[in-house]
Amino acid sequence: MTKNITIAHGNGGEENNELIKNIFYKHFENEILAKSEDAAVIEDGKLAFTTDSFTVSPLFFPGGDIGKLAVCGTCNDLAMMGAKPKYMTCSVIIEEGFSTRELEKIVRSMKKELEINGAIVVSGDTKVVPKGSVDKLFINTTGIGEIEHQGISASSLEEGMSILVSRDVGAHGATIFAAREGISLESSLQTDCASLYPQVKALMDADINIIALRDATRGGVAAVLNEWAKSSDVCIEVEEEKVPVQEEVKGICEMLGFEAVDLANEGTFVLAVAKEDEAKALEVLQQTHASSALIGTVTEQHKGKVILNSSWGTKRFLDLPTGELLPRIC
Amino acid sequence: MAELELKNLYDDFRDGETIKAYARIIAEDAAKLEKPINIMEVCGGHTHTIMKFGLPQLMPENINFIHGPGCPVCIMPKERIDHAYVLAMQPDVILVTLGDMIKVPGSNGSLQDARSKGADVRFVYSPMECIKIAEENPDKKVIFFAIGFETTTPMTAVLLDQVIKKEIPNILFHINHVTVPEVMKELIDSRDIHVDSYNNKIDAFLGPSHVSVISGSKIYEEFPRDYNRPVVVSGFEPVDVMQGISMIVKQFVENRCELEIQYKRVVTYEGNLNSQRLMKTYFDKVSLFRWRGLGNVPDSGLKLKDEFAQYDAEVVFKDVLPIAEIEDHKLCICGDILRGMAKPPECTIFGTACKPTTPIGSCMVSSEGACAAYYKYGNLIK
């Protein structure tokens, strides 16, 4: 570990994992935490329980705001364990001088998103801190959900299974990057920020046996696939040209030297199902997003690794994103 | 004419069938060669393309890549990074630089570390953003830590031009621009007594197209003429690189040694004369610039002309800036890698002590460095 925490320790990739392992897991160690799933499964598999903090800058961005993000983020973590979001808490840390109107706007968009999930906020906390102590507004939400589909796990992937994504990847990361100070790119891109429970429910209603499910937030699809490959000790082979990426996201990646699979998403999930469920799962996903796609299969070639196959016959490893995402120079 | 979209700039240049077709042509031509050829791609951008798209997997055994020194972040010696760190830690300073420069470790740490200790360090995509930052922070000094080859130098020149014309009082420059042809010469004909480059293995160069968009293809004329090394100026997409390699192989098969342009869609012989004029207005060559891993290279760096000393952070802050040269880590073989004497996996600390998260050598620092590209895109799969 480095002596001081750097931005890279919050990137959802290698350094982030190191920080969690070396400090938090070390002291909080217990069986439930060690599973390291999107949400903890408690009470004999009946409930899913999770928390998330939101510090996005800017607070309002094309297609969403920090409030929508704060509900989607936590509810999606529950949905990814096959749970229906039920009860939430909402804690805010507000910088002195913040606009009341903007705060209300943010809370209104939280309410709208809660309705989509069928969840309610049942407890909360507010703190106001002196100017400069936080960047305008930080929100923490915690959620409890009722598990409707048991057994979803990152460690159950087996050879021959199919990997799907629920829509085109990288839209949130690219949108935030384009809107960031110092980049000033104009684009009509919108974040993918959305509640995922309705799609998960549709998969369950169609009787699809969900093996693994994870929303590809920080670290993107690359992080999810790498975690699965490691947890299940399998190889995941992805056909690069089948990974759906919007033209605008591609353009931003080209200009800044990023890969869409490394970029964060806030309403996109990766799904693993048995080969025989593949067609039906894709059909269900495409009812919400036509861009959803089958992107790869589980193999035994290089256990613990993710391989990208190109259309011209070359292969390379797709690793966990490392460091802070920075645009390349020339 | 149909409207040009961003995707037109890369879509067709990544076509699987075209790439495979070039692989076949290269294999057919290479079969006629009497001895293997080593092609140095000078630029880190090319290294990145070659590794990311797995092109070595498509090459016959007698075509070999040597990864050159064209990564502006990788070649920055530690003492220059220490300058950036010291400047960033000065009171009321905002240090602005490009992209992954902020990750490079100096002797006190990287700019990222400076930032975690409270320094105001920002990265921009366009240097012109400095003007906005300076206007928003009138009580602070904005120091632009300028890096890069001929590709980024004009942007620094334009920024200085605007600073002077708009009389912006709080922008200073720390110039670390370097030039491509001088280091290419150094690699095949070293004059530094510490560097034994006479047994270099470079047979031909793949020249970076974006440098030539600015400086023209004329800057490479002397290599086929005086050094007997063919140069093909090539674009950065996989189809560009494959075509560029094919052109080089054909030269050897046909016993030619020429300067050719693969990237005809943009590169001209003369280049962008306006940019060249602006660079001449503001910059002088420095007689020696120390490259990390390579040592002193004559005439390879730029500095602000004396008449612009008031904008030069190296002059304004000269009392606080360290002057001692700092040697590279003893186990690091970046110098050999940059000269084509070794490949990254031959280094004893590659992937163990030296990783992208904890880089020791320069080539591991930037995504365009040879070691980082090998680490990330693992040529483990053959």
A7 with B45: Cβ contact below 8 A: no
Residue A329 confidence (pLDDT): 57
Domain map (residue ranges) of chain B: 36-377
Higher pLDDT, B191 or B103: B103
B381 and A310 within 8 Å at the Cβ level: the answer is no
> Which range among B49-53, B185-189, B311-315 has the greatest average pLDDT?
B311-315
* pLDDT at site A245: 96
Q: Which domains, and CATH codes, for chain A?
A: 35-147 (3.30.1330.10), 162-317 (3.90.650.10)
pLDDT in the model for residue A15: 81
SS (H, E, C) chain B: CCCCCHHHHCCHHHCHHHHHHHHHHHHHHHCCCCCCEEEEEEEHHHHHHHHHCCHHHHCCCCEEEEEEEECCCCCCCHHHHHHHHHHHHCCCEEEEEEHHHHHCCCCCCCHHHHHHCCCEEEEECCCCHHHHHHHHCCCCEEEEEEEECCCCHHHHHHHHHHHHHCCCCCEEEEEEEECHHHHHHHHHCCCCCCCCCCCCCCCEEEEEHHHHHHHCHHHHCHHHHHHCCCEEEECCCHHHHHHHHHHHHHHHHCCCCCEEECCCCCCCCCCCHHHHHHHHHHEEEEEEEEECCCEEEEEEEEEECHHHHHHEHHHHCCCCCCCCCCCCCCCCCHHHHHCCCCCHHHCCCECCCEECCECCCHHHCCCCCHHHHHHHHCCCCC
Please give the pLDDT value at position B178. Answer: 96
Chain B, residues 270-299, CB within 8 A of chain A, namely: none
B124 near A CB under 8 A:
yes
Query: What CA–CA distance (Å, rounded) separates B69 from B179?
Result: 11
pLDDT in tens, A238-295: 999 999 999 999 988 888 888 999 999 999 999 999 999 999 999 999 999 999 999 9
Does the beta-carbon distance from A319 to B376 stay under 8 Å? yes
Residues of chain A with pLDDT under 50: none
For residue B382, is pLDDT > 50? no
pTM for this one?
Answer: 0.83
pLDDT over 90 (residue B339): no
Q: Supply A211's token pair.
A: 């093996």
- How does DSSP classify residue A4? S
Give the pLDDT confidence of B279-293 residue by residue, as tens digits: 999 999 998 899 988
Q: Using CB atoms, pick whichever of B113, B238, B377 lies closest to residue A4.
A: B113
Closest CA to B265 of B42, B70, B16, B13: B13
- Does pLDDT of B244 surpass 80? yes
Chain B partners within 8 Å of A302 (Cβ): 381
Please answer yes or no on whether A317 and B99 come within 8 Å at the CB atom.
no
Shortest distance, CA B108 to any CA of chain A (angstroms):
12
Per-residue pLDDT tens digits for B97-138: 998 788 888 888 889 999 999 999 999 988 999 999 999 999
Q: Looking at residue B380, what is its pLDDT?
A: 54
Average pLDDT, chain B: 90
Measured CB to CB, residues of chain A less than 8 Å from chain B are 2, 4-8, 14-15, 182-185, 241, 247, 250-251, 254-257, 302, 307, 310-317, 319, 322-324, 326-330
Is the pLDDT score of B76 beyond 70?
yes
Q: B36-377 belongs to which homologous superfamily?
A: HypD, alpha/beta domain 2 (3.40.50.11740)
